[in-house]
Amino acid sequence: MRSENFSMRFLVAVAFLVSCVSGIGVNWGTQCTHLLSPTTVVRMLKDNGIQKVKLFDADPNILDALKKSGIQVMVGIPNDMLYTLANSVQAAEKWVSKNVSAHVSSGGVDIRYVAVGNEPFLSTYNGTFEATTLPALQNIQAALTKAGLSTRVKVTVPLNADVYISST
């Protein structure tokens, strides 16, 4: 009886939480041995009610497949690009033009966020990206503003939970 009571309360709590969520999202990685076609993945996302997706880069084939899908997108900037984007506003403008503006204006990819780096403060990177992440973010923000997209597309830095660990 006790177990059934707990199970019922748990199910009610989960149902309540799900009803409060504005959408379910997934990470879409491409580093695997047997890639599915982007159109197949988009169809699977839609069939399963997935409304948001985070990409770890801005693959044009994937972005083309997401056109008019109704799926909200976060495009990512790989860590190995942070140095260049931190040191060149022009590089940031070129990146935004190619990877955001072109897809938002030419067919309706619902890009909502740009992720600057992929967990660049992860402790295993030993501070490699600490000096370049903020300047890269600032240059991407400036490029989005110049492109007239800053009210529609927001900039963020994905963090790993290890940033919360404190030695004090």
**Which residue is catalytic, options 4, 93, 119, 130?**
119
Q: 72 in helix, strand or coil?
A: strand
Q: Which residue has the higher pLDDT, 5 or 142?
A: 142
Q: Which residue has the higher pLDDT, 151 or 2?
A: 151
Unique residue bearing structure tokens 């939480």: 17
Percent of the chain with pLDDT over 90: 71
Nearest CA to 72 out of 58, 53, 98, 46 is that of: 53
Please say if 119 is a catalytic residue.
yes
| β-strand partners of 114 | 75, 155
Q: Set out the domains of the chain in order of their start, with CATH numbers.
A: 23-164 (3.20.20.80)
Nearest-angstrom CA–CA distance, 116 and 119: 9
**Who's near 30: CB < 8 A, 6+ residues apart?**
56, 57, 59, 62
